[in-house]
Amino acid sequence: MFSFFKKERRESLLRWKDEASLGRRRVLLLSSRQFDRELNRERLRATRRSIPFCLLTVELLTKAGSTRRSTNKQNRQLVDLLLRNLRVTDEKGILATFRYGVLLVDTPEMGGRAVLDRLARLTSAAGLEVRLNLQVHDPNGFGEDQENNQDASGDRRADDRRRDDPADSEEAWVRLASTAAESPAPTEPSTLSHNRVQSSIDDITLAGSQQQSSQAGLWLKRGIDVVGAGIGLVLAGPAILGAMAAIKLTDGGPVFFRQTREGQNGRPFTILKLRTMIVDAEKFQAELRAESHRDGPAFKISRDPRVTKVGHFLRATCLDELPQLINVLTGDMSLVGPRPLPWHESRACERWHRRRLDVRPGLTCTWQVNKAKAVTFDDWMRMDLRYIDQLGLFQDLRLIAQTVVVPVTGRGGE
């Protein structure tokens, strides 16, 4: 009995030394208990809303004969790699000595595979020997009444909710094991060796993930933003000047509306718009909150009494949004990306909504050209996340082309 407690105390002391060696990085990681709490919370949320997520475990393999000092250095290097190359909304925690967990919220299996493949390449390039394991939680893969919750067309009714996880939690997890179909399922996920990286899935190359992680793709997108914003300001310059004159002549107030929005990685910035409402309109928003037709933190109201006569025209033709081309030139925004929310509304969003902050906000996106399809605020957020998952040059060009039609049809003020 005494030897058992002595062993436990020695392991706890070693674990404390390992965590202490991380320095300031430690405060950016959850403890094992905190991580387990977040994992259970995500499982319940994903089950209720039928949203998949992934759990990725990363374990540093210590080399034979290596000193503790060199191992601690590799451990800090691995933690830095995780913090710099994963999304802000992904929860990261310490599971055990040299073993970490990453909770990939609102991420399907293919997204988890992309993250695992990317980490495999990054750790291999850094000379780190790690073991990666991926588990997928897919609520659509279980449930007794799955067939009964469908209507005649075969589609699931939007108001149906999944029940909580079954008693056997293992049924809710899809383990990605070896590709040998005829071999019996092992008790532990089998591993495949790849460039000193052990993985629980096949090593695959995803064109989409390469495009997203490619610096060349990011520079190309930024180049298109700068050129497009420059050309747009030149062409739209006369229209902007005319709108500014109309605003000034009607009520004499400021022509620009400035507001703090939350940008990429949660960084605040000031957005520019042509003023379409009365002066100090934000002071009256609390009185109109009950009339908002948008659920969630976003405030949207049809026939807003604060909008001026000139403002109605500017909104319908989207002329009020053109000054944001300046935000594109300064790098705060992109031509295409999730629409930035006001600071207080964005901070009130749920955690899975905030994955939209992984990219620069934009002038237009999927929601901007398909507002009618976003019945709820969650639908709006899913449109943004779907855009991020399918990020690509052709998709941006298609959305820009669709956006040009919006002011022509007068749907900008919807």
Which tens digits make up the pLDDT trace of 291-301?
776 666 777 77
Q: Is residue 233 domain-shared with residue 85, that is, in the same domain? A: no
Residue 149 counted as domain residue: no
Quote the percentage of the chain above a pLDDT of 70: 72
Which pLDDT band, with edges at 50, 70 and 90, does 409 fall under?
low
Q: Is residue 121 domain-shared with residue 247, that is, in the same domain? A: no
Residue 21 counted as domain residue: no
11 has a pLDDT exceeding 50: no
CA-to-CA distance for 368 and 154, rounded, in angstroms? 29
Residue 23 counted as domain residue: no
Better pLDDT: 131 or 404 = 131
Q: Which residues contact 268 (CB under 8 A, 6 or more apart)?
A: 260, 261, 262, 343
pTM for the full predicted model: 0.52
Residue 179 counted as domain residue: no
- The residue out of 109, 140, 171 marking a domain boundary is 140
* Element holding 70 (H helix, E strand): helix 68-85
Q: Is residue 261 domain-shared with residue 393, that is, in the same domain? A: yes
166 has a pLDDT exceeding 50: no
250 has a pLDDT exceeding 80: yes
- The residue out of 112, 140, 168 marking a domain boundary is 140
Q: Is residue 284 domain-shared with residue 385, that is, in the same domain? A: yes
Q: Is residue 130 domain-shared with residue 224, that is, in the same domain? A: no
Distances from the Cα of 243 to the Cα of 231, 246, 269, 274, angstroms? 19, 5, 24, 8
157 has a pLDDT exceeding 70: no
When pLDDT is averaged across residues 245-271 and rounded to a whole number, the result is 90
Distances from the Cα of 242 to the Cα of 229, 246, 276, 307, angstroms? 19, 6, 14, 18
Contact 364, 336 (CB under 8 A): yes
Contact 72, 15 (CB under 8 A): no
Q: Give residue 294's pLDDT.
A: 65
The rounded mean pLDDT for the chain is: 75
When pLDDT is averaged across residues 240-263 and rounded to a whole number, the result is 91
Q: Is residue 132 domain-shared with residue 252, that is, in the same domain? A: no
Which pLDDT band, with edges at 50, 70 and 90, does 391 fall under?
confident
Q: Give residue 70's pLDDT.
A: 86
- Per the structure, the count of domains in the chain is 2
Q: Which of 247-256, 345-354, 404-413 has the weakest average pLDDT?
A: 404-413
Q: Is residue 242 domain-shared with residue 372, that is, in the same domain? A: yes
Q: Is residue 259 domain-shared with residue 344, that is, in the same domain? A: yes
Q: Is residue 271 domain-shared with residue 378, that is, in the same domain? A: yes
Exposed / middle / buried, residue 399 (Cβ in 10 Å: 0-12, 13-18, 19+): buried
Better pLDDT: 262 or 66 = 262
345 has a pLDDT exceeding 60: yes
Residue 338 counted as domain residue: yes
CATH number where 78 lies: 3.30.70.270
- The residue out of 122, 140, 158 marking a domain boundary is 140
Q: Give residue 31's pLDDT.
A: 86
> Domain limits at 108?
32-140
47 has a pLDDT exceeding 60: yes
Q: Is residue 132 domain-shared with residue 222, that is, in the same domain? A: no
- Listed residue (115, 96, 125, 136) closest to 194, CA to CA: 125
Residues paired with 94 in a beta bridge: 100
Q: Is residue 348 domain-shared with residue 254, that is, in the same domain? A: yes
Residue 196 counted as domain residue: no
Residue 146 counted as domain residue: no
Better pLDDT: 326 or 376 = 326
Q: Give residue 331's pLDDT.
A: 93
Q: Give residue 226's pLDDT.
A: 95
DSSP assignment, residue 395? H
Q: Is residue 221 domain-shared with residue 356, that is, in the same domain? A: yes
Q: Give residue 374's pLDDT.
A: 80
Residue 205 counted as domain residue: no
Better pLDDT: 127 or 207 = 127
Q: Which of 72-81, 92-101, 106-115, 199-208 has the weakest average pLDDT?
A: 199-208
Q: How far, in whole angstroms, is CA 5 from its chain's centroid?
A: 44
35 has a pLDDT exceeding 70: yes
Better pLDDT: 347 or 8 = 347
